[in-house]
């Protein structure tokens, strides 16, 4: 068997193995032959979403048996053999991160979402962000329609606030259902709720801006806030459920599409 079969190209090799967690997973599976998700997570000491993410990145090198236990396939065993004879310096890998990458990480709030593994500690902040958005929607008398707002509402202050919170809680349940149905992601539900709530922060600021700017200016600001919220929602899916960012972005776009479709059906999008 040729070594060229092991990896598609050199850059893919470095992308996979520059992360210590992925190297550790290959080493564990190479030693134990097969292991269940729960046991693997306990050994790694990482959050559910993080472990799912790394397994997803290594999917070309792994198989699952009938009991859903992970094991190395032929390519994975070659990868393990190469690891035994090669030492990769973590310090050298850290130097590969550039400032521009850090800027992108902050646009996606990756440093924040990465800490939400301790979900209970971040739950108060998540609830405060939802309350912040709910009060803003009520003060501006602008009914929330998830990513969009209706400039006028006949609802009372309390009802407008409750509808805002209801929208984002509904998004949490919908996301959890889709993540299980399509990607078979289970667990980490509290972290998903916390991450979605944090992701709603940009759009939550819109009603306050709406109070100080003209309607035309506010519409352009809303477009910017929707795009940023979509980026953060993608990041939320990635960190809480371990989806690759490309899949997370597709899921976020699906949510936006359904939001727009519902507005058209209700005759609320003008």
164 Cα distance to chain centroid: 22
Torsion angle of C-alpha atoms 29, 34, 37, 41, degrees rounded to 10? -40
pLDDT at 219: 84
pLDDT at 85: 63
Say whether 178 sits in a helix, a strand or coil.
helix
Which domains can be identified in the chain, with CATH numbers? 3-96 (1.10.10.10), 103-266 (no CATH)
The strand pairing partners of 150, in sequence order, are 143
In a structure prediction context, what are the per-residue pLDDT tens digits for the chain, which is 270 residues long? Answer: 333 433 344 445 556 777 888 889 988 888 887 899 989 999 998 888 989 988 988 888 898 888 889 998 878 887 787 777 644 433 333 333 334 467 788 889 988 998 888 899 999 999 999 999 999 999 998 888 899 998 777 788 999 999 999 999 999 999 999 999 998 888 889 999 999 999 999 999 999 998 888 878 888 999 999 999 999 999 999 888 888 888 999 999 999 999 999 988 887 764
Give the residue from 268, 248, 250, 251 showing the smallest Cα distance to 260: 268
pLDDT at 15: 61
pLDDT at 160: 93
pLDDT at 207: 92
């Amino acid at each position: 068997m040729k070594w060229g079969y092991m990896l598609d190209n050199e850059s893919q090799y470095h992308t996979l193995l520059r992360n210590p967690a992925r190297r550790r997973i290959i080493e564990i599976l190479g030693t134990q032959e097969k292991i269940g998700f729960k046991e693997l997570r306990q050994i790694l000491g990482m959050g559910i979403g993080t472990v799912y993410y790394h397994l997803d990145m290594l999917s070309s090198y792994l198989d699952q048996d009938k009991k859903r236990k992970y094991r190395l396939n032929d390519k994975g065993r070659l990868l393990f053999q190469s690891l035994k004879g090669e030492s990769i310096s973590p310090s050298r890998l850290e130097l590969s991160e550039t400032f521009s990458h850090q800027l992108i990480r902050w646009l996606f709030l990756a440093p924040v979402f990465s800490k939400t593994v301790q979900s209970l500690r971040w739950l108060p902040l998540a609830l405060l962000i939802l309350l912040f958005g709910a009060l803003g929607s009520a003060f501006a008398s602008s009914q929330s329609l998830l990513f969009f707002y209706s400039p006028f509402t006949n609802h009372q202050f309390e009802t407008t606030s409750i509808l805002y919170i209801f929208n984002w809680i509904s998004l949490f349940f919908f996301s959890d259902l889709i993540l299980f149905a399509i990607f078979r992601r289970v667990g980490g539900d509290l972290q998903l709720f916390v991450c979605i709530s944090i992701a709603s922060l940009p759009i939550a600021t819109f009603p306050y801006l709406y109070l100080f700017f003209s309607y035309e200016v506010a519409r352009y600001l809303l477009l910017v806030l929707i795009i940023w919220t979509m980026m953060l929602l993608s990041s939320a899916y990635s960190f809480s459920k371990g989806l690759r960012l490309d899949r997370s972005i597709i899921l976020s776009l699906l949510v936006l599409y359904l939001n727009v479709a519902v507005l058209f059906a209700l005759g609320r999008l003008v």
